């Protein structure tokens, strides 16, 4: 598979480096290079482009703004790999569903790793659109549930998490923390607790608070208004008490 791509950067040296890396990569086909995001947007609307290697800090229209415009204007949108000297834009990159984030200065090995992600994603999408292979459909942008695993988007990749490894899930506005019995630190993902609640099997997981989903078989002790998982005490929210009481009656 060959991916059509463009490079966008207002710094000539940086643009030249990305262009040379693209030309060294057998599965990438450079269809254009642009020092202006506005010019790049015109190309997006007139060409079939699979991947955009996109700088963020640019005059007139920056890379984040361009990504938002593309996200809102195209159904079959190209995937974006940001190339920037500023790591504080990583969160914004998440919000526009960027496929990768290359921090300048980066070498060819790092570039190739990001480009290979784009190739793998494109191949997965192509297989999902081929008649007779629907079972290999591409995962959703954020997460999906398959059998006994949760596929969660973490740092521009899908990470497979065993459902029986999950202790509880904590919601933090736009993020969730997935606490595991096999790890001291939680896995952080840009998604919502509501989205996960809709996908997790109800026989194994329960929403007990606006900020918590718990794994039912990991509960160590229960009172009428709270539960304990390991050393963590989680209060049951008022709107969840009825469903929790029904569960509690099965415990008694």
Per-residue pLDDT reduced to its tens digit, 204-251: 899 999 999 999 999 998 877 889 999 999 999 999 988 888 877 765
Instruction: Please name which of 85, 80, 84, 98 lies closest in space to residue 5, comparing C-alpha atoms.
Output: 80
What's the whole-number mean pLDDT along residues 99-106?
85
CA gap 145, 231 in Å, rounded: 28
| Confidence band for 15, pLDDT divided at 50, 70 and 90 | very high
Residue range 163-251 in CATH 3.20.20.10: no
Q: Is the dihedral of CA 194, 200, 203, 208 positive or negative?
A: negative
pLDDT digits (tens, 9 = 90+) for 162-178: 999 999 999 987 788 99
Whether residue 131 is predicted with pLDDT greater than 70 in this model: the reply is: no
Whether residue 57 is predicted with pLDDT greater than 80 in this model: the reply is: yes
The 3-class SS string of the chain reads CCEEEEEECCCHHHHHHHHHHHHHCCCEEEEEEECCHHHHHHHHHHCCCCEEEEECCCCCCCHHHHHHHHHHHCCCCCEEEEEECCHHHHHHHHHCCCCEEEECCCCHHHHHHHHHHHHHHHHHHHHHCCCCCHHHCCCCCCEEEECCEEEEEECCEEEEEEHHHEEEEEEECCEEEEEECCCCCCEEECCCHHHHHHHCCCCCEEEEECCEEEEHHHCCEECCCEEEECCEEEECCHHHHHHHHHHHHHHC
Which pLDDT score, from 0 to 100, does residue 236 have? 92
Which pLDDT score, from 0 to 100, does residue 214 have? 96
Range name among 12-21, 78-87, 139-148, 202-211 with the lowest pLDDT average: 139-148
Q: Where in the chain are all domains bearing CATH 2.40.50.1020?
A: 163-251
Whether residue 140 is predicted with pLDDT greater than 50 in this model: the reply is: no
CA gap 103, 173 in Å, rounded: 26
**CB of 236 within 8 A of CB of 208?**
yes
Which pLDDT score, from 0 to 100, does residue 30 have? 96
pLDDT digits (tens, 9 = 90+) for 182-201: 988 888 888 888 888 888 88
Which pLDDT score, from 0 to 100, does residue 138 have? 41
| Confidence band for 135, pLDDT divided at 50, 70 and 90 | very low
Residue range 3-128 in CATH 3.40.50.2300: yes
Instruction: Please name which of 142, 140, 230 lies closest in space to residue 189, comparing C-alpha atoms.
Output: 142
- Give the percent of the chain with pLDDT over 70: 83
Q: Where in the chain are all domains bearing CATH 3.40.50.2300?
A: 3-128
What's the whole-number mean pLDDT along residues 136-147?
46
| Confidence band for 73, pLDDT divided at 50, 70 and 90 | low
């Amino acid at each position: 598979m060959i991916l059509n791509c463009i490079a966008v950067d207002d710094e000539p040296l940086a643009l030249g480096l990305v262009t040379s890396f693209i030309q060294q990569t057998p599965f990438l086909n450079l269809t254009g290079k642009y020092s202006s995001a506005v010019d790049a947007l015109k190309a997006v609307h007139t060409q079939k482009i699979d991947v955009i290697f996109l700088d963020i800090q640019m005059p007139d229209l920056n890379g984040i703004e361009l990504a938002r415009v593309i996200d809102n204007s195209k159904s079959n949108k190209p995937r974006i790999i940001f190339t920037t000297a500023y790591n504080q834009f990583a969160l914004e990159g998440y919000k526009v569903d960027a496929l990768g984030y290359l921090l300048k200065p980066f070498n060819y090995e790092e570039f190739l790793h990001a480009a290979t992600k784009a190739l793998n994603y494109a191949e997965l999408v192509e297989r999902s659109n081929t008649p007779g292979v629907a079972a290999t459909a591409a995962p959703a942008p954020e997460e999906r549930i398959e059998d006994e695993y949760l596929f969660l988007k973490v740092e521009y990749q899908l990470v497979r998490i065993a459902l029986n490894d999950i202790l509880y899930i904590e919601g933090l506005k736009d993020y969730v923390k997935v606490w595991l019995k096999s790890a001291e630190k939680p896995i952080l993902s840009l998604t919502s607790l509501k989205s996960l609640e809709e996908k997790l099997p109800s026989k194994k997981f329960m929403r007990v608070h606006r900020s918590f989903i718990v794994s039912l078989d990991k509960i160590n002790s229960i009172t009428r208004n709270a539960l304990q998982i390991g050393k963590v005490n989680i209060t049951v929210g008022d709107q969840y008490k009825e469903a929790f009481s029904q569960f509690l009656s099965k415990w008694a």
